[in-house]
Amino acid sequence: MNKPGCGFVVILLVSLMFSLFFSFFCDAQNFNYLPTSTTNQIVHHTYFSLSYSDKYEQAEWVAYELTKERVSGTIGRTNNFREDRKIHTGSATLSDYKGSGYDRGHLAPAGDMKFSSTAMSESFFMSNISPQNASFNRGIWKKLEEQVRTWAFENGHIYVITAGVLGSSSSSIGYSSVGVPDYYYKVILDYNEPEIKAIALVLPNQKGTQQLSSYVTSIDYIESITGIDFFPELPDDLEKRLESKSYANQWSWKSISFSSRNKKDPN
């Protein structure tokens, strides 16, 4: 019997490597990135999902995917704030915010939804809105949103989870008693080889005076103050590694403004 030649072995190895890469790629694309819900009211819109809290009349988390292609979209803001009819108990309303002194702060930003008219429109559901201090919303929070879009552009594909820390709410606004969080968080996962990484930030709902990197914390810490389990579908060892520490040095801290970018990638 003839033994396999070197060429056959090489082909076999290449085939095996391709199979492993394809398997990982499929797993990454089909990865269930949604956190657990403490409210038992998860709502899925076309391009983002959320867990809604009746107690605070806003989402305890909003989760979505963001890609290099999506951040280069050109759809304009619709500003069509409206109730979310998918919230079976009724969402907060526009009148809850009127005269409150707080901005209608997006959780999934309109700036992340410029790739689709549907995505842009749905980002103005009141279930995706939270009362934010104006200097916070238009300052450090906006800066963080721009940073997240830069991370999506640099890494190709990320998962974003964000909301107020609802348990920190010390006041409320409107007839619906919409809670005003004292803190907001973002949790980001880059689930792509060769460097799977995550980052988490917690910011006070006030004018920011520090560098964004100074707000970095661990996912474990955010889990402890929210009661939410982030990325429960990750392999246990990977989840423990990603969530136990802060990883500010694995992410770049430059920021790209996409509002003035052409849809074509200049690189």
Active-site residue set: 106
| Two structure tokens written together for 52 | 């809604």
- Residue 209, CA distances (Å) to 43, 120, 140, 142, 148 in order: 35, 30, 8, 13, 19
| Two structure tokens written together for 12 | 């076999």
- List of residues 6+ apart from 36 with CB closer than 8 A: 228, 229, 232
Q: What is the DSSP string of 208-222?
A: --S-GGGGEE-HHHH
Q: How far apart are CA 76 and CA 79, in angstroms?
A: 9
Amino acid at the residue 54: D
> Residues 148, 161: contact at Cβ < 8 Å?
no
Place of tokens 């003839």: 2
| Two structure tokens written together for 180 | 């005003």
> Residues 222, 162: contact at Cβ < 8 Å?
no
